Structure 1
Amino acid sequence: MIRGHRGRDVGRSRRDGVEDALRGCARGGRGLATAGLTGIHLDCGGDVFVRCARWQGGGRFVTVRGVRRIAGLVCGALLGFAVPQSAWAEAPAAHPVETVAGVGAVFYPSAGGVVPRVGGPHFCSAGVVASASRDVIVTAAHCVLGTGALIEFAPLLHDDQLPAGVWAVTSMYVDPAWQRSFDPRHDVAFLRISPRDGKHIGDVVPGLPVGEPRAGDPVTVSGYPLGSGGEPLTCTAPLELTADGSAMHCSGFGDGTSGGPWVQNGRIVGVIGGPEQGGCEPDVEYSTPFGPDVEALLARAEAAGPGDVLPIGFTANRC
């Protein structure tokens, strides 16, 4: 069977499966307009991606899709029903830039800035939050572990340059649902940063406030690919709301970009993470939903009470 958006069973035979997949997409998901289907593309590189591009008004196309791994023979038969690829808007590609305001790379284990300064590898991304204490950053919960000891943050890293220095994490805060079961709807962590040389990280690298996402509006997502030095990747595309959080279609992100902030209308409205640690498909990214739970978590971090001890979540919710 081909499964439609959000795993709905949409067909049993080859022909009926495609037709039902199209109808399933046209019925659509949360936050999408009710305009009809305008295109489908079946990509048979092992997985079949049923893509539906629909007009949402204001000059925006929004795409939803279902995925189902099927045999090459069946795929060949299905292609007879596909509309040419030009019928739907291609996802934009993430591209490197020298820096992204407020965004940096996360290092572990590291102390005293040693690993970033010798060109050691970084493994996740994070963004500075505009907060009263000026001491808070946000990342994905699956990126961090323990109490925060030996985790360091290098904002504005590019190539082998550390223009804003290296900052140590002192405590971390996650939702109890992540602690209990690695709930992907709570894959977000706020980290408190130790002041350095009498300054707070927010004094050196201004952050952005946290907000809630808006479907259809453009969102800019940025993060550092896994590795040493390098530059962040960034991409802007319409934000979609799904049953499990936020989504956007953009190709080129990969390992290491987890925790990278989603910025929309001047606010951080998500981080790469959540379902499938941010997405298993090559051109889709996910985020934990940002809303009242995330605001409450930020308030707890701002209060600077005892932090949480995080379980190892590096493999939680992976593809």
Structure 2
Amino acid sequence: MRIRRWSTVSVAAVMTVALAVVLWSSGAPQGGRVVGLGSVVPWGSADPRSPMAPPPVRGQAGPVVGGLSASSVGVLVVDGGRHQCSASVVASQSRRLLATAAHCVWLDGAWRVDGATFIPGYAAGEEPYGRWQVDTAYVPPAWTEANSPIEDVAADVDMAFVSVLPRDGVLPEQVLGAQGISFSTPPQVEVAALGYPALGSYDGQSLRGCVGTGAVEAFTRPESPKPSEIRSLDCDMTQGASGGPWLAGPDADSGRGQVVGVVSGGDDTHLVSPRFGPAAKQIYDAADTAALAATAPAPSPSTDPMSAQIAPRGGS
């Protein structure tokens, strides 16, 4: 993967490679590198520093242990078990939805949800809540139309909602809890961005978080003449953090809040996220409506194909 720079309307900020899927197994062949961020490190132990400690330096991801994040945020294993992202359980009527990045489930013209699993609370090889099988995923039509490869991300639409199957008749939210979700927030909001970064000084074995001001910036793509919006945050999380939640709220820095975006991409100092608004609400509603019909072999007839693209159930 290579650094890719985009122009923005409001600032001359950098928008680079997605903090996307990284190798799930240290024994698998390594992929490309992000310039300046190092390569995938072997699996190791979780960070030994005290739980809930604040980041030692602003913009540096500190460890997050305990609280609601310990059960509602986890690793999303995709692409036949070869890659990982991050994801979080979000409150819904169906009680089985995850929020993540679109490039985690649909990339280079293909779905990557066949055999995908969610491992909430993953920490240094421990899986305290087991694995939950992915049912299907929903992404914006604009994401599939852009056909974004990993180094060329359409960050403003890089969001997805994933439905997870019940386990022994129990819904995910009943066991794991759920973060709230908001589709209306001010241009600047204090957030905590969480994820499982796995490059550079991070090993993908523990949940990390950055806190700071998530500021809205204008964002343009060559194929989209109308400027859109993203959020930017000072944070050094790397690949593997993709799809992790951006939490706002009074308890966000302790891992409980409302999801207002997800990690899309960035460079070695900044993260970017789509700004959740009406478009995100459409995807969320489509996913939740279909997930309510847990035994249905296809999406509910009320799902508008122009508002969301759905992955085939079972990935085939």
Residue 267 (1) aligns with residue 232 (2): no
Q: Which residue of 2 aligns with 1:202?
A: 173
Q: Deviations over 1:94-140 (max 9, x none)?
A: 11233534110011245xxxx6xxxxx75210010100111100100
User: For 1:255 and 1:205, how far apart are their aligned partners in 2?
Assistant: 25
- Among 220, 228, 231, the alignment partner of 2:206 is 231
Whether the aligned pair in 2 keeps the contact of 1:150 and 1:168 (CA below 8 Å) is yes
Q: Which residue of 1 aligns with 2:310?
A: 308
Aligned-pair Cα RMSD in Å: 2.6
Q: Which residue of 2 aligns with 1:94?
A: 61
Q: Which residue of 1 aligns with 2:125?
A: 160
User: For 2:155 and 2:197, how far apart are their aligned partners in 1?
Assistant: 21
Q: Which amino acid aligns with 1:251?
A: C
Deviation at 1:149, TM superposition (A): 2.1
Q: Which amino acid aligns with 1:185?
A: D
Tell me the SS of whatever aligns to 2:234. coil
Larger radius of gyration: 1
Residue 290 (1) aligns with residue 276 (2): yes
Deviation at 1:147, TM superposition (A): 6.6
Residue 176 (1) aligns with residue 141 (2): yes
- Among 124, 131, 145, the alignment partner of 2:92 is 131
Most deviating of 234-243 and 100-109: 100-109
User: For 2:245 and 2:13, how far apart are their aligned partners in 1?
Assistant: 26
Whether the aligned pair in 2 keeps the contact of 1:122 and 1:226 (CA below 8 Å) is no
Deviation at 1:229, TM superposition (A): 6.2
User: For 1:109 and 1:287, how far apart are their aligned partners in 2?
Assistant: 22
Tell me the SS of whatever aligns to 1:303. helix
Q: Which amino acid aligns with 1:269?
A: V
Within 5 A, what are the aligned runs for 1:14-163? Answer: 29=10, 66=13, 91-98=58-65, 100-101=69-70, 102-110=72-80, 123-145=84-106, 146=111, 148-163=113-128
User: For 2:8 and 2:278, how far apart are their aligned partners in 1?
Assistant: 27
Q: Deviations over 1:59-116 (max 9, x none)?
A: xxxxx6646xxxxxxxxxxxxxxxxxxxxxx743111233534110011245xxxx6x
User: For 1:303 and 1:255, how far apart are their aligned partners in 2?
Assistant: 31
Q: Which residue of 1 aligns with 2:193?
A: 221
Q: Which residue of 2 aligns with 1:18?
A: none
Q: Which residue of 1 aligns with 2:266?
A: 279
Q: Which amino acid aligns with 2:170?
A: K
Most deviating of 255-264 and 236-245: 236-245
Whether the aligned pair in 2 keeps the contact of 1:223 and 1:232 (CA below 8 Å) is yes
Whether the aligned pair in 1 keeps the contact of 2:198 and 2:204 (CA below 8 Å) is no
Most deviating of 193-202 and 140-149: 140-149
Q: Which amino acid aligns with 2:243?
A: G
The structure, 1 or 2, with the larger RCO (C-alpha pairs under 8 Å, 6+ apart) is 2
User: For 2:90 and 2:233, how far apart are their aligned partners in 1?
Assistant: 25
Tell me the SS of whatever aligns to 1:239. strand
Deviation at 1:258, TM superposition (A): 0.5
Q: Deviations over 1:207-266 (max 9, x none)?
A: 123213333331000001238761011011011011133434333300110000000023
**How high is the sequence identity, in percent, across the aligned residues?**
32
Q: Which amino acid aligns with 1:267?
A: Q
Q: Which residue of 2 aligns with 1:41?
A: none
User: For 1:261 and 1:7, how far apart are their aligned partners in 2?
Assistant: 23
1:170–1:7 CA distance, 2 compared to 1 (3 A):
closer
Q: Which amino acid aligns with 2:281?
A: E
Residue 252 (1) aligns with residue 252 (2): no
Q: Which amino acid aligns with 2:212?
A: A
Whether the aligned pair in 1 keeps the contact of 2:79 and 2:112 (CA below 8 Å) is no
Whether the aligned pair in 2 keeps the contact of 1:247 and 1:284 (CA below 8 Å) is no
Q: Which runs of 4+ in 1 moved over 4 A?
A: 5-8, 64-67
Number of matched residues? 217
Most deviating of 300-309 and 170-179: 300-309
Whether the aligned pair in 1 keeps the contact of 2:118 and 2:133 (CA below 8 Å) is yes
Q: Which amino acid aligns with 2:211?
A: T
